[in-house]
């Protein structure tokens, strides 16, 4: 039993990994998507936390460099305040939580979107 049980489980692990192979996606060619329809972004609010100098600089660049009228940005002192504001505001609110200088999380009204990092397998 001490020898056969580990071999049995190893067999099942190999079988399960063969049933769910890794998916590899091909490259998508660069295409011109045309002009951005900014009417969708009217009264759009982006809240962010923590209110650091780098976060302010990034949000200013997002709000004013890409859009004529600019987006509405609001800073919050903590993630809890951001979550409360997200619950109170309508569906045109998106939260941005800066984890460090290179990573962030997007928080929508009902979910959290992780940054896209390629991972081989779970």
Judge whether 117 lies within some domain: no
Q: Into how many domains does the chain fold? A: 1
- Distance between CA atoms of residues 32 and 87, nearest Å: 36
pTM greater than the 0.85 cutoff = no
- Distance between CA atoms of residues 29 and 71, nearest Å: 30
DSSP letters spanning 88-111: HS-TTEEEEEE-SSS-EEEE-SS-
Judge whether 122 lies within some domain: no
Judge whether 11 lies within some domain: no
Q: Tell me: the pLDDT tens digits for 9-49?
A: 999 999 888 887 777 778 878 888 777 676 766 777 888 88
Domain extent at residue 78:
29-112
DSSP-based three-state secondary structure for 65: helix
């Amino acid at each position: 039993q001490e020898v056969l049980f580990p071999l049995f489980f190893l067999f099942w692990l190999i079988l399960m990994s063969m049933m769910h192979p890794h998916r590899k996606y091909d490259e998508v060619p660069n295409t011109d998507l045309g002009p951005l329809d900014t009417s969708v972004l009217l009264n759009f609010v982006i809240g962010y936390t923590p209110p650091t100098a780098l976060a302010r600089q990034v949000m200013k660049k997002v709000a004013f460099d890409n859009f004529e009228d600019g987006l509405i940005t609001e800073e919050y002192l903590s993630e809890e305040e951001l979550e409360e504001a997200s619950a109170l505001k309508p569906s045109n609110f998106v939260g941005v939580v800066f984890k460090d200088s290179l990573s962030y999380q997007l928080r929508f009204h009902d979910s959290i979107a992780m940054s896209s990092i390629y991972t081989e397998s779970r």
